[in-house]
Protein backbone atom coordinates (compact mmCIF):
# COMPACT_ATOMS: atom_id res chain seq x y z
CA UNK A 1 0.00 0.00 0.00
CA UNK A 2 1.00 3.61 -0.46
CA UNK A 3 2.23 5.23 2.71
CA UNK A 4 -0.60 7.24 4.22
CA UNK A 5 1.64 10.01 5.51
CA UNK A 6 2.87 10.75 2.00
CA UNK A 7 0.05 12.98 0.78
CA UNK A 8 1.67 13.77 -2.58
CA UNK A 9 1.82 10.06 -3.46
CA UNK A 10 -1.76 9.50 -2.31
CA UNK A 11 -2.84 12.35 -4.62
CA UNK A 12 -0.85 10.81 -7.46
CA UNK A 13 -2.37 7.38 -6.85
CA UNK A 14 -5.88 8.84 -6.90
CA UNK A 15 -5.34 10.82 -10.10
CA UNK A 16 -3.79 7.84 -11.87
CA UNK A 17 -6.66 5.60 -10.78
CA UNK A 18 -9.20 8.11 -12.10
CA UNK A 19 -7.39 8.31 -15.41
CA UNK A 20 -7.34 4.53 -15.75
CA UNK A 21 -11.02 4.28 -14.78
CA UNK A 22 -11.90 6.67 -17.61
CA UNK A 23 -9.97 4.68 -20.24
CA UNK A 24 -7.54 1.89 -19.41
CA UNK A 25 -6.14 1.52 -22.93
CA UNK A 26 -2.75 3.08 -23.78
CA UNK A 27 -2.88 6.12 -26.05
CA UNK A 28 -2.27 5.53 -29.74
CA UNK A 29 -1.75 9.19 -30.67
CA UNK A 30 0.14 12.19 -29.34
CA UNK A 31 -2.94 14.33 -28.68
CA UNK A 32 -4.39 11.76 -26.27
CA UNK A 33 -1.01 11.42 -24.60
CA UNK A 34 -0.75 15.19 -24.20
CA UNK A 35 -4.24 15.36 -22.69
CA UNK A 36 -3.41 12.62 -20.17
CA UNK A 37 -0.14 14.28 -19.16
CA UNK A 38 -1.91 17.62 -18.73
CA UNK A 39 -4.53 15.96 -16.52
CA UNK A 40 -1.89 14.46 -14.24
CA UNK A 41 -0.04 17.76 -13.93
CA UNK A 42 -3.17 19.80 -13.26
CA UNK A 43 -4.26 17.23 -10.64
CA UNK A 44 -0.93 17.66 -8.86
CA UNK A 45 0.03 14.04 -9.50
CA UNK A 46 3.47 15.18 -10.63
CA UNK A 47 4.44 16.43 -7.15
CA UNK A 48 6.10 13.17 -6.23
CA UNK A 49 8.45 12.65 -3.28
CA UNK A 50 11.99 13.50 -4.29
CA UNK A 51 14.37 10.53 -4.54
CA UNK A 52 16.61 9.91 -1.57
CA UNK A 53 14.41 11.67 0.97
CA UNK A 54 12.73 8.69 2.60
CA UNK A 55 9.90 8.01 0.16
CA UNK A 56 11.67 6.82 -2.97
CA UNK A 57 9.51 3.71 -3.15
CA UNK A 58 6.35 5.84 -3.17
CA UNK A 59 7.78 7.78 -6.08
CA UNK A 60 8.50 4.59 -7.97
CA UNK A 61 5.07 3.15 -7.22
CA UNK A 62 3.52 6.18 -8.89
CA UNK A 63 5.76 5.72 -11.94
CA UNK A 64 4.88 2.01 -12.11
CA UNK A 65 1.16 2.80 -11.85
CA UNK A 66 1.35 5.28 -14.75
CA UNK A 67 3.38 2.76 -16.75
CA UNK A 68 0.77 0.06 -16.15
CA UNK A 69 -1.75 2.35 -17.81
CA UNK A 70 0.36 3.70 -20.65
CA UNK A 71 4.09 3.34 -21.33
CA UNK A 72 4.07 6.34 -23.65
CA UNK A 73 2.50 8.42 -20.90
CA UNK A 74 5.03 7.33 -18.29
CA UNK A 75 7.87 8.17 -20.67
CA UNK A 76 6.66 11.79 -20.62
CA UNK A 77 5.56 11.75 -16.97
CA UNK A 78 8.90 10.37 -15.81
CA UNK A 79 10.77 12.97 -17.87
CA UNK A 80 8.63 15.73 -16.39
CA UNK A 81 8.97 14.55 -12.78
CA UNK A 82 12.69 13.89 -13.26
CA UNK A 83 13.09 17.47 -14.49
CA UNK A 84 11.35 18.78 -11.38
CA UNK A 85 13.64 16.65 -9.19
CA UNK A 86 16.75 17.87 -11.01
CA UNK A 87 15.70 21.51 -10.65
CA UNK A 88 15.10 20.95 -6.94
CA UNK A 89 18.50 19.28 -6.56
CA UNK A 90 20.13 22.36 -8.08
CA UNK A 91 18.04 24.78 -5.97
CA UNK A 92 16.34 25.94 -9.15
CA UNK A 93 12.75 24.82 -8.56
CA UNK A 94 11.67 28.41 -9.18
CA UNK A 95 12.27 27.85 -12.90
CA UNK A 96 9.28 25.48 -13.06
CA UNK A 97 6.33 27.66 -12.20
CA UNK A 98 2.62 27.09 -12.77
CA UNK A 99 1.34 24.14 -14.79
CA UNK A 100 4.38 23.90 -17.06
CA UNK A 101 5.29 20.55 -18.60
CA UNK A 102 8.92 19.51 -18.88
CA UNK A 103 11.04 17.12 -20.90
CA UNK A 104 14.48 15.85 -19.92
CA UNK A 105 16.54 15.55 -23.09
CA UNK A 106 20.03 14.19 -22.49
CA UNK A 107 20.69 11.89 -25.46
CA UNK A 108 24.12 12.54 -26.95
CA UNK A 109 24.43 10.58 -30.22
CA UNK A 110 27.42 11.58 -32.36
CA UNK A 111 25.19 12.94 -35.13
CA UNK A 112 23.28 15.48 -33.02
CA UNK A 113 24.76 18.02 -30.61
CA UNK A 114 23.72 21.36 -29.17
CA UNK A 115 26.20 24.16 -28.50
CA UNK A 116 25.70 26.57 -25.62
CA UNK A 117 27.34 29.99 -25.67
CA UNK A 118 26.99 33.35 -23.92
CA UNK A 119 24.04 35.43 -24.98
CA UNK A 120 25.26 38.49 -26.86
CA UNK A 121 28.59 39.94 -25.70
CA UNK A 122 28.46 38.65 -22.15
CA UNK A 123 31.90 36.97 -22.11
CA UNK A 124 32.56 33.46 -20.81
CA UNK A 125 30.00 31.20 -19.20
CA UNK A 126 30.36 30.88 -15.41
CA UNK A 127 31.35 27.40 -14.28
CA UNK A 128 29.98 27.19 -10.74
CA UNK A 129 26.62 26.66 -9.09
CA UNK A 130 26.00 30.39 -9.26
CA UNK A 131 25.55 30.01 -13.02
CA UNK A 132 21.92 29.00 -12.48
CA UNK A 133 19.51 31.39 -14.13
CA UNK A 134 22.02 33.06 -16.47
CA UNK A 135 20.64 33.35 -19.99
CA UNK A 136 22.54 31.60 -22.78
CA UNK A 137 22.24 30.92 -26.49
CA UNK A 138 21.60 27.44 -27.93
CA UNK A 139 22.41 26.25 -31.45
CA UNK A 140 22.30 22.77 -32.95
CA UNK A 141 20.15 19.65 -33.04
CA UNK A 142 18.93 17.50 -30.15
CA UNK A 143 17.85 13.94 -30.96
CA UNK A 144 15.12 11.81 -29.36
CA UNK A 145 13.29 14.67 -27.65
CA UNK A 146 10.35 12.79 -26.17
CA UNK A 147 7.14 14.81 -26.08
CA UNK A 148 8.62 17.77 -27.93
CA UNK A 149 5.36 18.79 -29.68
CA UNK A 150 3.41 18.50 -26.42
CA UNK A 151 5.60 20.16 -23.79
CA UNK A 152 6.08 23.76 -22.70
CA UNK A 153 9.68 23.47 -21.42
CA UNK A 154 12.69 21.19 -21.38
CA UNK A 155 15.94 20.57 -19.60
CA UNK A 156 18.63 19.57 -22.06
CA UNK A 157 22.34 18.89 -22.14
CA UNK A 158 24.53 21.06 -24.35
CA UNK A 159 28.26 21.68 -24.81
CA UNK A 160 30.25 24.87 -24.29
CA UNK A 161 33.39 25.98 -26.13
CA UNK A 162 35.58 24.17 -23.60
CA UNK A 163 33.74 20.89 -24.33
CA UNK A 164 32.14 20.94 -20.91
CA UNK A 165 28.60 19.63 -20.66
CA UNK A 166 26.06 22.13 -19.38
CA UNK A 167 22.44 21.72 -18.31
CA UNK A 168 20.03 24.28 -19.74
CA UNK A 169 16.37 25.03 -19.08
CA UNK A 170 14.45 26.34 -22.06
CA UNK A 171 10.97 27.44 -23.02
CA UNK A 172 9.97 25.69 -26.23
CA UNK A 173 7.59 28.45 -27.29
CA UNK A 174 10.09 30.75 -28.99
CA UNK A 175 11.22 31.46 -32.56
CA UNK A 176 14.61 29.78 -32.14
CA UNK A 177 13.10 26.35 -31.46
CA UNK A 178 11.87 24.14 -34.31
CA UNK A 179 10.22 20.83 -33.48
CA UNK A 180 10.53 18.50 -36.46
CA UNK A 181 8.73 15.27 -37.32
CA UNK A 182 12.05 13.54 -37.99
CA UNK A 183 14.12 11.00 -36.11
CA UNK A 184 11.64 8.33 -34.98
CA UNK A 185 10.67 5.33 -37.09
CA UNK A 186 9.77 2.76 -34.43
CA UNK A 187 6.16 1.60 -34.13
CA UNK A 188 6.63 1.16 -30.38
CA UNK A 189 6.43 4.38 -28.32
CA UNK A 190 5.43 6.29 -31.46
CA UNK A 191 2.88 8.42 -29.59
CA UNK A 192 5.69 10.00 -27.55
CA UNK A 193 6.84 11.88 -30.66
CA UNK A 194 10.51 11.50 -29.69
CA UNK A 195 11.71 13.64 -32.58
CA UNK A 196 14.66 15.87 -33.46
CA UNK A 197 14.52 19.46 -32.27
CA UNK A 198 16.53 22.24 -33.94
CA UNK A 199 17.85 25.25 -32.02
CA UNK A 200 18.97 28.43 -33.72
CA UNK A 201 19.85 31.33 -31.44
CA UNK A 202 17.35 29.99 -28.93
CA UNK A 203 17.49 31.43 -25.41
CA UNK A 204 17.73 29.26 -22.32
CA UNK A 205 18.95 29.48 -18.73
CA UNK A 206 21.84 27.59 -17.19
CA UNK A 207 21.05 25.13 -14.39
CA UNK A 208 23.87 24.23 -12.02
CA UNK A 209 27.62 24.08 -12.66
CA UNK A 210 29.62 22.45 -15.44
CA UNK A 211 28.76 18.75 -15.73
CA UNK A 212 25.98 19.31 -13.21
CA UNK A 213 23.65 16.88 -14.95
CA UNK A 214 25.84 13.81 -14.44
CA UNK A 215 27.83 14.79 -11.34
CA UNK A 216 25.10 14.58 -8.70
CA UNK A 217 23.60 11.83 -6.54
CA UNK A 218 20.22 12.20 -8.22
CA UNK A 219 21.48 11.08 -11.62
CA UNK A 220 21.57 7.36 -10.84
CA UNK A 221 18.71 7.66 -8.37
CA UNK A 222 16.61 8.81 -11.31
CA UNK A 223 18.15 6.17 -13.56
CA UNK A 224 16.97 3.47 -11.17
CA UNK A 225 13.47 4.93 -11.30
CA UNK A 226 13.28 4.09 -15.00
CA UNK A 227 13.31 0.43 -13.98
CA UNK A 228 10.08 1.03 -12.07
CA UNK A 229 8.51 2.18 -15.36
CA UNK A 230 9.56 -1.05 -17.07
CA UNK A 231 8.18 -2.98 -14.12
CA UNK A 232 4.80 -1.27 -14.52
CA UNK A 233 4.63 -2.22 -18.19
CA UNK A 234 5.58 -5.84 -17.50
CA UNK A 235 3.03 -5.99 -14.68
CA UNK A 236 0.24 -4.88 -17.05
CA UNK A 237 1.12 -7.70 -19.44
CA UNK A 238 1.11 -10.12 -16.52
CA UNK A 239 -2.31 -8.88 -15.44
CA UNK A 240 -3.74 -9.79 -18.85
CA UNK A 241 -2.38 -13.31 -18.44
CA UNK A 242 -3.65 -13.49 -14.86
CA UNK A 243 -7.16 -12.47 -15.94
CA UNK A 244 -7.13 -15.18 -18.59
CA UNK A 245 -5.96 -17.73 -16.03
CA UNK A 246 -8.81 -16.81 -13.67
CA UNK A 247 -11.28 -17.76 -16.40
CA UNK A 248 -9.65 -21.16 -16.71
CA UNK A 249 -6.58 -22.32 -18.55
CA UNK A 250 -4.65 -25.44 -19.40
CA UNK A 251 -1.44 -26.51 -17.75
CA UNK A 252 0.73 -24.65 -20.22
CA UNK A 253 -1.00 -21.31 -19.59
CA UNK A 254 -0.81 -21.82 -15.84
CA UNK A 255 2.88 -22.69 -16.07
CA UNK A 256 3.51 -19.42 -17.91
CA UNK A 257 1.48 -17.59 -15.25
CA UNK A 258 3.60 -19.18 -12.54
CA UNK A 259 6.77 -18.08 -14.33
CA UNK A 260 5.45 -14.52 -14.56
CA UNK A 261 4.71 -14.56 -10.83
CA UNK A 262 8.30 -15.58 -10.08
CA UNK A 263 9.71 -12.91 -12.39
CA UNK A 264 7.57 -10.01 -11.16
CA UNK A 265 7.98 -11.06 -7.54
CA UNK A 266 11.76 -11.05 -7.87
CA UNK A 267 11.71 -7.73 -9.72
CA UNK A 268 9.57 -6.05 -7.08
CA UNK A 269 12.00 -7.21 -4.38
CA UNK A 270 14.96 -5.75 -6.26
CA UNK A 271 13.16 -2.42 -6.70
CA UNK A 272 12.14 -2.24 -3.05
CA UNK A 273 15.71 -2.90 -1.93
CA UNK A 274 17.08 -0.35 -4.39
CA UNK A 275 14.68 2.30 -3.09
CA UNK A 276 15.64 1.49 0.50
CA UNK A 277 19.35 1.73 -0.35
CA UNK A 278 18.86 5.15 -1.98
CA UNK A 279 16.96 6.43 1.06
CA UNK A 280 19.61 5.01 3.41
CA UNK A 281 22.55 6.43 1.44
CA UNK A 282 21.08 9.50 -0.32
CA UNK A 283 24.43 11.19 -0.97
CA UNK A 284 26.24 8.09 -2.23
CA UNK A 285 26.73 7.08 -5.87
CA UNK A 286 23.82 4.76 -6.72
CA UNK A 287 25.42 3.48 -9.95
CA UNK A 288 25.65 -0.17 -8.88
CA UNK A 289 22.16 -0.22 -7.38
CA UNK A 290 20.68 1.44 -10.46
CA UNK A 291 22.49 -0.75 -12.98
CA UNK A 292 21.49 -3.90 -11.13
CA UNK A 293 17.82 -2.83 -11.03
CA UNK A 294 17.80 -1.74 -14.68
CA UNK A 295 19.47 -4.92 -15.91
CA UNK A 296 17.11 -7.02 -13.80
CA UNK A 297 14.05 -5.30 -15.24
CA UNK A 298 15.42 -5.47 -18.77
CA UNK A 299 15.53 -9.26 -18.42
CA UNK A 300 12.25 -9.53 -16.50
CA UNK A 301 10.28 -7.37 -18.94
CA UNK A 302 11.54 -9.36 -21.93
CA UNK A 303 10.81 -12.68 -20.24
CA UNK A 304 7.35 -11.63 -19.06
CA UNK A 305 6.45 -10.55 -22.58
CA UNK A 306 7.69 -13.88 -23.91
CA UNK A 307 5.69 -15.92 -21.41
CA UNK A 308 2.51 -13.88 -21.99
CA UNK A 309 2.88 -14.08 -25.77
CA UNK A 310 3.34 -17.84 -25.79
CA UNK A 311 0.52 -18.40 -23.30
CA UNK A 312 -2.04 -16.12 -24.97
CA UNK A 313 -1.13 -16.53 -28.61
CA UNK A 314 -2.00 -14.23 -31.49
CA UNK A 315 -5.43 -13.46 -30.07
CA UNK A 316 -4.02 -11.12 -27.43
CA UNK A 317 -2.17 -9.13 -30.08
CA UNK A 318 -5.14 -8.99 -32.42
CA UNK A 319 -8.07 -8.41 -30.06
CA UNK A 320 -6.70 -6.82 -26.87
CA UNK A 321 -5.73 -3.21 -27.59
CA UNK A 322 -3.96 -2.67 -24.27
CA UNK A 323 -1.88 -5.84 -24.61
CA UNK A 324 -0.99 -5.09 -28.24
CA UNK A 325 0.16 -1.55 -27.46
CA UNK A 326 2.15 -2.63 -24.38
CA UNK A 327 3.75 -5.45 -26.36
CA UNK A 328 4.85 -2.95 -29.03
CA UNK A 329 6.01 -0.24 -26.62
CA UNK A 330 7.87 -2.24 -23.97
CA UNK A 331 10.66 -3.71 -26.15
CA UNK A 332 11.48 -0.23 -27.45
CA UNK A 333 11.40 1.36 -24.01
CA UNK A 334 13.69 -1.20 -22.34
CA UNK A 335 16.32 -0.66 -25.01
CA UNK A 336 17.08 2.50 -23.09
CA UNK A 337 19.14 -0.04 -21.16
CA UNK A 338 22.35 -1.07 -22.89
CA UNK A 339 22.01 -4.84 -22.42
CA UNK A 340 25.33 -6.70 -22.43
CA UNK A 341 27.32 -3.47 -22.33
CA UNK A 342 25.76 -2.68 -18.96
CA UNK A 343 26.25 -6.26 -17.78
CA UNK A 344 29.93 -6.03 -18.74
CA UNK A 345 30.25 -2.82 -16.72
CA UNK A 346 28.55 -4.49 -13.77
CA UNK A 347 30.90 -7.45 -13.98
CA UNK A 348 33.96 -5.24 -14.10
CA UNK A 349 32.72 -3.20 -11.15
CA UNK A 350 32.10 -6.37 -9.17
CA UNK A 351 35.48 -7.89 -10.01
CA UNK A 352 37.30 -4.77 -8.91
CA UNK A 353 35.51 -3.97 -5.66
CA UNK A 354 33.11 -6.71 -4.59
CA UNK A 355 34.29 -6.83 -0.98
CA UNK A 356 33.96 -3.06 -0.66
CA UNK A 357 30.43 -2.68 -2.04
CA UNK A 358 28.14 -1.12 0.57
CA UNK A 359 24.79 -2.88 0.96
CA UNK A 360 21.96 -2.45 3.42
CA UNK A 361 23.35 -5.36 5.44
CA UNK A 362 27.03 -4.51 5.40
CA UNK A 363 29.79 -4.92 2.84
CA UNK A 364 29.68 -7.44 0.00
CA UNK A 365 27.54 -7.44 -3.13
CA UNK A 366 25.54 -10.53 -2.25
CA UNK A 367 24.78 -10.07 1.44
CA UNK A 368 21.53 -11.69 2.56
CB atoms within 10 A of CB 357: 16
Give Cα separations from 165 to 125, 132, 263 (angstroms).
12, 14, 39
The three-state secondary structure class of 73 is helix
pLDDT tens for the 368 residues of the chain, in order:
233 345 556 578 889 899 989 999 999 999 999 999 999 999 999 999 999 999 999 999 999 999 999 999 999 999 999 999 999 999 999 999 888 999 999 999 999 999 999 997 667 888 777 789 999 999 999 999 999 999 999 999 999 999 999 999 999 999 999 999 999 999 999 999 999 999 999 999 999 999 999 999 999 999 999 999 999 999 999 999 999 999 988 999 999 999 999 999 999 999 999 999 999 999 999 999 999 999 999 999 999 999 999 999 999 999 999 999 999 999 999 999 999 999 999 999 988 887 677 777 676 778 78
Which pLDDT score, from 0 to 100, does residue 4 have? 38
Cβ neighbours of residue 251 closer than 8 Å, sequence gap 6 or more = none
The beta-strand segments (E) located in 106-230 are 114-118, 135-145, 153-159, 165-171, 177-179, 195-206
Which pLDDT score, from 0 to 100, does residue 98 have? 80
Which pLDDT score, from 0 to 100, does residue 3 have? 38
218-363, superfamily in CATH? Butyryl-CoA Dehydrogenase, subunit A, domain 3 (1.20.140.10)
Which pLDDT score, from 0 to 100, does residue 122 have? 67
Which pLDDT score, from 0 to 100, does residue 272 have? 98
Domain ranges (residues) in the chain: 7-95, 102-206, 218-363
Residue 155 to residue 168: CA distance in whole angstroms: 6
The three-state secondary structure class of 2 is coil
Give Cα separations from 260 to 72, 152, 254, 311 (angstroms).
23, 39, 10, 11
Which pLDDT score, from 0 to 100, does residue 8 have? 59
For 129, which DSSP code? Answer: G
Per the prediction, the chain carries an average pLDDT of 93
Which pLDDT score, from 0 to 100, does residue 10 have? 59
Fold entry, domain 102-206 = Butyryl-CoA Dehydrogenase, subunit A; domain 2 (2.40.110)
Which pLDDT score, from 0 to 100, does residue 6 have? 54
Distance of CA 70 to the CA centre of its chain: 13
Amino acid sequence: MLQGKDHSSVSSHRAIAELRAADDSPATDSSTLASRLRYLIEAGADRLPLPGQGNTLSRWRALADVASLDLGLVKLFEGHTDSLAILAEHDAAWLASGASSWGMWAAEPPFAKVRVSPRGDEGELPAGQDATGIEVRLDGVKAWCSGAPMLSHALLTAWDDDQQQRLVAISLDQPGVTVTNEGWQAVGMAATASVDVHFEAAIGQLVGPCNGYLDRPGFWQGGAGIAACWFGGARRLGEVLEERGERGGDGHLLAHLGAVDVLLGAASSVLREAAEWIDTYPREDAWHVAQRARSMLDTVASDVLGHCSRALGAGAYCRNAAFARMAADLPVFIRQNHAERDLEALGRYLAERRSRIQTLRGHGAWSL
